[in-house]
Structure formats: structure tokens, C-alpha cells
Chains A and B, each alone.
Chain A
């Protein structure tokens, strides 16, 4: 431990500020509150603060960030954003450091976010132990009121001097280069510093009525708690304040912006929040979390259960920003969990006395690539008034190498990106197909493009079908409307490898005959042996001809006889379809784990980061879109 006088510390900071190669940021006053902002002199520092308006994560994961800029005037070229100067953050409290460590794991998981890490790795963190605590702060309960790592230097205020804990070589070098009169701390100093740290543990004005480590257990039984979430969220203004000021929130939206020439543009990401009304809404208008109670509940579950199950930590550091910013005063986790605990006690439910530590297995497979690959439209086949099939070839050569059931993010430059399922089998070489329904801005634009025009492709994303588990089985495809498009990738694969699979049934339902997709193709497949193809329509208008079944898709199920033991049912269709089809399959005793489905949600990043596609603890883009019913039937938001 080292010691520095406050005077020498000021000079140290001023020396850092003088160095033009560094961006020195510290806690300053703003109105009656505090905020991290660039320092012009050490005089401005307010290290005696209680909490900043926004956490320091805004420097590593900014409110608005350019992912890349592009130029369409001559083909397509993308440029990554400029490098920024390394930052020195002065005055970070321990709970904010803990939050940054959480964010590090989250941004590293599976696909690493290089934009975040470029800034994070270059930054120097000078922390300071808490002197004043806001009345909402409960960090001592979350184990984040003090910390022994995660910083380069950590200060403790001793009145006229600071003790310094050096946390890294970077910190050590910083002191030797810019600071004077840094001496070894004496035993007395260390004693007082230790005393101060202990005092912090008793500063909190919030109090949990139970050990907060039990939060994941408590949540486990509270998902459907009658009236509980409604009662707590009744006053919610859907203003997003609680999540926008949170140091561990990381949901984002991706947008596109062009200049007036429409030839230069940028793709940007901005903070988003699951409490906002349209967070889980898709182009068709369906909103998968349309009510306040469902959104309100999701936030607590994500922080207290889903992230805990995935990473092994409760993703809340107790900073209290959410509570202090909530105008109707409903965002305080302490109040909510205490109330949940009390209700549990009243119902006499036996709660576990300790939480089982989850098995955490985080892998990283390289960086997220936000920049799409350029591709050309080779063929364009309008199929119905709303759907068009595009055949696309990547410009830079290599095959897409996708698995049936995966999807790609298709960019219409100037407009944005949309997730579209792959409709062709990987056995079809050199090109791939997507079936696009004209619904929103991107898809409308795609429909206006022609052969030879360029699009951007990112991916393939998603898990796809586990082909090996299907080999040798009979396959019962049940498709509703546009649901045939993603299933076609598997159907065509099966027919290119026919001998690997058993009987094939194909049930396909649409509202009316003119909406049928791939009609001729499916009929010709039906003429092959061992393929039973049954189409149906809900009704047939007078001016159309239809000789097949009339009725909803479930009316076809009794018309096929299949061996329940050896058959795998594969479903894809509008959200409303699943419940009914599954019910009918269960009536035929099809085992749960013989039912597969492909689900749709609002997807932006494609790699399980931005949060939009999340169904409870599952990311549809990463853990799906193909799900086994046995794994998903316990997930309340899925079906």
C-alpha cells in the first residue's frame, strides 16, 4: 500500500491532464448531482461524491456508437470507427468496478465485442473507496461495496492524504511516470484505511430481510405469482429510466443513417431497454412483451436469474441508480425482493437455504462482426403478392456453409438489416436462397431490388437443426403460411440425402390458395416415393380453384398415420399455430422430445447480445431458432 498527500495527488492528476495522449475523465458536479466528464483541471474533481448519474460503462459501451461507416458511391466499402485516445477514469467506486467486470464477461461470451474491449483494455481505472453512500445504495449486500481487484489504482481517503492500492503494472507505471512523493504506507495508515472500508459495510440505508444470495431461488418460484407483478408494475411509466442508468444493462438497438446523397451512411448502435413498450415488437405488429407486468418482471428475472444461471453472478451491484431515478418509485430491487420474500413466507412455501451454483461454461469463438459481407442478387422470383424468393451469391467467394434452420441478417443499404431464414439447403452450392415477405422497411426495400443489385449478408446465425439426430427417422413437417420458408432448407436437404431419412410427411396450411409458397416444387416432391404431401387452406374464395383439404392445419393431422415412436415432428408457422398443433400431436402420443420448432422474435445483433430476441433466459438468435419442445415447454414466454 502506498500513500500520497492530497496536494501531490492533485498535481498527479494535473500532470495526466497535461499529457495530450490521454483522455482524463473524472467525477464532477452537475447541478446537485455528479457525473463522469472530461477534466480540465484537478480542481474539478469531486471524489467525495455518492453516486454518478450514469455509470462509467458509458465510456466503453456508449449511448450512441458507430459500428461502421460505408460508402456506396463506388461499390461498397466499410470503415471501422477511428481509434480514440486511451482513457484514465478517476474516482470509480467499487460497485461500478464490479459492474464493469460483469460487463466484461457478458461482452466476451460466445462472440466477443471488439469495440467494447478496444476501449476497455486501453483504459486505466483509478478507483476510490466509498465515502458517501446514496440512500438507495445497497452494494454492501451485493458484495460490491469494496473490491480487491479490477482496478489499476484504488484510493482511500484519509483526510489530508490518500492510501493507494496498486492493482496492476499499468497502475504502478502511471504513478512512477506522473506522481511525486509517493511513499510506502505506514502501519497506522493501513489500519485507518482498513477501518474506513469496514465503515462502508454499515453505511447502507437499505436492508434486505433475507440473505440476498437467495434471490435466484426466490425468483424461481415467483414467475407466475398471481397479481404480484401487476401490483408492482401498475405505476410503471415505461420510461426506461431504471435500465438506462443501470451499470450492468447492455441491451442495444441497431439503426442505419445516411446522408442526403443517400450514398454514404453509418450503422450505429444505441442503448435500448426492455422496459420500453416496443422492445419486443416485430414488423408484423406482434409484441412479445406487450404489457407492463411482463416487461417489469423480465428485468428482475434477467438480472437475478437468467444471468445468474448463465454466468454464476447476480447481475446487480446495488448502486441504487434505478431506485433513485424511478419517479413512481417502483424500481427498488430491495423493496421488490423483500415483498416477494414476505409473500413466500406467508404462503408457507419452503425455500431453499442456499442457492445452487450453476455450472458455467463460457466459450469465446472470435469477435462479433458487425460489418456485412457484400452479396449480389442472382435471381428474383415473385411468388405471391407479398413474398419473393431471392437467390443470392456472396461476392467474396466462399460458401455461406450454413446449416438448415439457420438465418442470416440481410442488409438493404441505407435502410437497415432484417433477419431472414435461409430457405435453401447447404447441399445447393455457390448460392443460397431466402424467401422475403414484404412487411417492414427493409423487406419492402428488398422487394424493390433487382437481379444484379447488392445486399449485405451477416451470418449464418442460430443453431440450425441437429441433422444427426434426425437420421433414420420419419419426418413429419408441419408448416403454416410463411413457416414453410425456413423448413424448406431442411426439406431440400433431406431430399438431397434421401437415403439417410425415413418416411416424409409434409403438412402445409395457408389462409387461401393464392398464398401458397413453393406450390409446384412441393407437388413435384410429393410425386416421389415415401412422401405424403397434404396442403390445406382455411377457405377458398369464389374466383379460385382448390381441390385439396379445406380447414386449419390441425385438420390434416388426423389424416396422416405415422409411427409415433420413430417420427420427429418439425413445426414452423405463426405464433398462434404452435399451441394447437402441439396439443394435437400430444393427443397422438408424440413424445415431447420428438417435437422440434423454429421460433421467430425481433433480432438485431444475431449473436445474443442486444437482448431483443430474449425469451426468458433463452436467446432465440443463439440458443435457437430451432428448439426442442421438451426443452422449451417450461419457458413461459416461448409459446
Chain B
């Protein structure tokens, strides 16, 4: 009996679901192992009877919470897909702005129609069984999680930082190039893809479980970043996780 899977999206760019579509020929192999009963972006049909729910996007308003709780009730396994769902993602940047004034400025007297609160990962609302980190997710990482679930394995994510992968890929460290990187406290699993493309790690996979934050901030400042800039860097993706600390 093939497990039934469903895809859901909240506040996000749908880039993670696109990565699933980017599986190309592997989609056919995937369909050989699971039955897709709901994937709004790609199919008309919808069925509330599913075993595994993949959820992309952050929860950004109260009405989203009900939808999330329904999904949790229907599914045996809930997988958070992509940074917006796993850690709040780029959406959490706006948590530091004053939302009320923003809303009033935009919508005037209609503001009450558009409710919104601090953007948050879905595990702030419902328990989550597995995480596919990244902005966007890496499709091999997605397959790894799917295969783990099919094999009855608990999907794992590295607890070590991106530096491990960067060193294995023989990159020249960003700090040696006069740039500032948060890879030292960011969860690995992306194979340091952004540094491999010649840039830096922006932290999209979220902070590791036990970061030595003080040490990292000291490093940033030692190499020439101001304290404010260092804090600002951490707000890009770590906004929600930092606020929780």
C-alpha cells in the first residue's frame, strides 16, 4: 500500500514545491512509491485522506493556525518544507518592524480586513515530525527525507555547521576573502552550495542546536563587522530562532 502524500502552502514563494517539480524524471520514480492525493499547484483533485503532509511557508495570521491544525489532525506525519516552514525564513525579517503602522499605511480603513502577526515556523503552532531545511530546499535532501520515511527511518539533519561541508569542498573561507559568513553557526546539509557558487552562507537552514554564538559574533567583529551589522546579519534568517532564545 503506497503511502498517501499531500502538499500544502502557506506564506511563501512556492520555491520549495518547485524543487519537487524539479525532480524531473525522478518524479516518476517517486510516484512509484507514493500516491499524491493533494498538490494544489499541480493537480485539481484533493483528498483529505493522507498519511504524510508536506507543508511549505510560514504561518503569518491567525486563520492559518486553523488550517495547520486540520492538517495535523489528518496526517500521520507532518514534514516542514523549506526555511519559511522550518524556521520562519525570510518572512521573519518583518517581525522586527512595527506591523500596525505598516498595515494602516497600506490599507487605510481596510486594515482590519488584512490581519497579520509575527511570521513563524509551523512548529510554533503544531508538532512537526521532520524538517527539510533550506531556502530553497535541496531536492536530494527532500528525497532523503522521503526515502527515510518510506524505510521507517527517522529523517536526520546534521547538527554540525556548514563549515564542515565547505572545508570538504575545499572552498576558500569567506572571511579570508574579506566577506562575512554565518556558516559557522548554520546547520549543514546543503553541501555548502552557496559558497561553492562563489558567495557566502546566508544562514537559510537555521542555527545549529548548540551554537557558540558569542564566539561567532566575536569572529564577525574581529574581522571588521560592527556589532549592529552582526546583529542585523542574524536577523535575516534567524529572526524567529533568535527571538526564542
Contact = CB atoms under 8 A, between A and B. Distances in A.
A–B contact at 8 Å CB threshold (below): yes
Interface stretch (B68-76, B112-120, B152-160): B152-160
A328 B170 contact: no
Nearest to B23: A260
The DSSP consensus for interface residues of chain A is loop
A54 interface: yes
Range of interface residues on chain B? 35 or more
Interface string B133-153: 000000000010011101111
Interface stretch (B28-36, B50-58, B99-107): B28-36
B219 interface: yes
Interface in B181-231: 184-185, 208-212, 215-216, 218-219
Contacts of B175: 327
Contacts of A328: 215, 218-219
A32 B161 contact: no
Contacts, number: 112
B212 A240 contact: no
Interface string B2-46: 000000000000000000000000100110110000000000000
B170 A30 contact: yes
Find the residue from B147, B148, B150 having the highest chain A CB count within 10 A: B147
Contacts of B218: 235, 328
Nearest to A52: B170
A4 interface: no
A44 B159 CA distance: 38
A346 interface: no
B167 A244 contact: yes
Given A237-B216, A244-B167, A276-B164, A327 B172 contact: no
A63 B176 contact: no
A33 B160 contact: no
Contacts of B154: 440-441
B210 to A, nearest CB: 6
A153 to B, nearest CB: 25
Contact of A235 (B29, B210, B212): B212
A2 interface: no
Range of interface residues on chain A? 35 or more
A262 B147 contact: yes
A606 interface: no
17 contacts: A33-B176, A53-B170, A54-B167, A54-B170, A63-B168, A235-B218, A236-B212, A237-B212, A239-B160, A239-B163, A244-B168, A260-B30, A260-B147, A262-B150, A276-B164, A277-B208, A292-B212
Interface of B: 26, 29-30, 32-33, 143, 146-148, 150-154, 159-161, 163-164, 167-173, 175-177, 184-185, 208-212, 215-216, 218-219
Given A262-B151, A292-B212, 9 more contacts: A31-B172, A240-B167, A260-B143, A261-B32, A262-B147, A262-B150, A441-B148, A444-B152, A448-B152
Interface of A: 30-33, 35, 53-54, 58, 63-64, 234-241, 244-245, 258-262, 270-271, 273, 276-278, 292, 325, 327-328, 414-415, 440-441, 444-445, 448
